[in-house]
Amino acid sequence: MRNNYRIVLSIIVSFVLTAYLQDRLPPLFAYMIKIPFVLAAFVYFMFRHNLLMGIIAGVFCSILGDGLSESSGIAYLVSCTCALFANQYLFKKQLPENSISCGLIALPISALVLIIQYASLAIFTDFIPSVGFALIKLLITALLTCIATIVLSEIFYRFELIVGNKEVVDEEFG
Residues written for the chain: 174
Contacts by 56-60, CB closer than 8 A, 24 or more apart: 56/8, 56/11, 57/11, 57/15, 58/83, 58/84, 60/11, 60/12, 60/15
Q: What is the pLDDT of residues 32-57, one digit of tens each?
A: 888 899 999 999 999 999 999 999 99
pTM > 0.85: yes or no: yes
Q: Say how many C-beta atoms besides its own lie within 10 A of residue 9's C-beta.
A: 12
Note the pLDDT of residue 20. 94
What domains can be seen in the chain, in order of their start residue?
2-163 (1.10.1760.20)
Task: Report residue 139's pLDDT band, with 50, 70 and 90 as the boundaries.
Answer: very high
